[in-house]
Amino acid sequence: MVLALEWLIAAGWLWRVLVWRRMLQLVPDLVQTQYGGSLPGLSVIVPARNEARNIAATLRSLLAAKGVALQIIAVDDRSTDQTGDIMELVAAEATDNKRLQVLHIAELPQGWLGKTHAMARAAEQATGEWLLFTDGDVLFHPDALRRALAYAVYSQADHMVLLPTVLLQSTGERMMVSFLQVIAVWALRPWGVADPLARRDSIGVGAFNMIRREVYDALGGWQALRMEVLEDVTLGRRVKAGGFAQRAALGLDLVRVRWAEGAFGVVDNLAKNVFALFRFRPEILIGAAFGGLGLFTLFPLLACVAGRAFYWPTGVFLVALFLAYQRAGKYHHFSALQMVTFPFASVLLLYAMLRSMVLALWRGGITWRGTFYSLKELRAQAARRDG
């Protein structure tokens, strides 16, 4: 029985990875292919709280954009560092057809998350036919916005995501982020995003969520997601559920972001996101942690202790992992040999999942960017979303 289970896991991994590698070829690559035509105006909204280290580079990379009429709205969301002052300094550098305006927010209204409130306030002042919501630590290639907007117009999209390249600057980051990219083969099918019949295949990425203004308004804007922790993912789901045209594209190094600093930086980031991903329900998270992640990543190795009969299915499992690491590594600049760290990454991710749940239950909510949000309010938002 145990041997049969391991063979099922190994075969499942191999099948999933082979399909994933083949189907990724269908996802447009904006580095390899360019689209022409006239482009509509674009408003880029950059919410930031205590991003003094990164915000200047982000805004300057946007100001360096080529080939697109651009309005940039930088939102200083109650920062206690020099974020707002730096925004004002960079705004003075704006020239040509690019406008950079700074919006300062001093207070957070009841019933809002800071980020969704900041983006909603900025959207009220946006004038572009398209809105791009991004973060205060993202770097844009000078041609990224033009290529993305041209593809969105060409493909008649209503919402478009350009998948970012994650910058990896430490051993811990490479270990954790490479593992997260590999296990994503079970959750994300970017080739299905454009298929209106693939209702479960939606996408939303905080670094690059670009949407038509009229579609944003039709969905109720961020007002409808004011207490949504995973606001980027949920926006993508609402777009797809609403029957609007959604697109995803690749583009190596067109959009870059350093998601976390070190392995435990990844763990800290997941403290906000993971419990929310499972709708703040402990039973779902525990089932996913042990019946999903543990079973599908650690069990094949541990089963080898039971005897030689388990070596073959474990070998198949490891081949599948190598192929997944090899393909994902081409987009995020890590080696396929990074797979030797996956057992450690899996254990640390299990810890991060359980930590996210325990901290939220213990504190009665989550703290993010210096603001506390109660579990009662967050669960109410999740209930409204699921309803």
Q: Is the dihedral of CA 63, 68, 71, 74 positive or negative?
A: negative
pLDDT at 370: 78
**pLDDT value for 37:** 81
Q: What is the pLDDT of residues 115-128, one digit of tens each?
A: 999 999 999 999 99
At 368 the pLDDT is 82
**Residue 45 pLDDT > 70, yes or no?**
yes
pLDDT of residue 96: 65
User: If you average pLDDT over residues 279-302, what whole number do you get?
Assistant: 93
Convert the pLDDT of each residue in 315-325 to its tens digit: 999 999 999 99
| Confidence at 385, pLDDT banded by 50, 70, 90 | low
Q: What is the pLDDT of residue 294?
A: 94
Percent over 90 (pLDDT), the chain:
83
State the DSSP code for 163.
Answer: P
Q: How far apart are CA 14 and CA 80, in angstroms?
A: 49
Task: Tell me how far CA of residue 301 lies from CA of 15, 22, 175, 241, 366, in angstroms.
Answer: 19, 27, 18, 39, 35
CATH top class, domain 28-170+187-257: alpha beta
Task: Give the tens place of pLDDT for each residue, 128-148.
Answer: 999 999 999 999 999 999 999
Asked if pLDDT for residue 378 goes beyond 90, the answer is: no
For the whole model, what pTM was predicted? 0.93
Task: Decide if pLDDT at 275 tops 70.
Answer: yes
Q: How far is residue 200's CA from residue 215's CA, in Å, rounded to a whole number? A: 19
**Domain ranges for the chain:** 2-23+262-386, 28-170+187-257
* Rounded Cα distance, 50 and 12, in Å: 43
SS3 content of the chain, % helix, strand, coil (to 5): 55, 15, 30
The tens digit of pLDDT for each residue in 216-254 reads 999 999 999 999 999 999 999 999 999 999 999 999 999
- pLDDT per residue as tens digits for the range 326-371: 999 999 999 999 999 999 999 999 999 999 999 999 999 988 877 8
The structure tokens listed for 40 are 């509509």
Residue 387 has pLDDT above 60, yes or no: no
E strand or H helix at 205, and its extent? none
Q: pLDDT tens for residues 64-92? A: 999 999 999 999 999 999 999 999 999 98
Give the residue-averaged pLDDT of 304-322. Answer: 91
Kindly report the backbone phi and psi dihedral angles of residue 52, in degrees, each rounded to the nearest multiple of 5, phi listed first: -60, -30
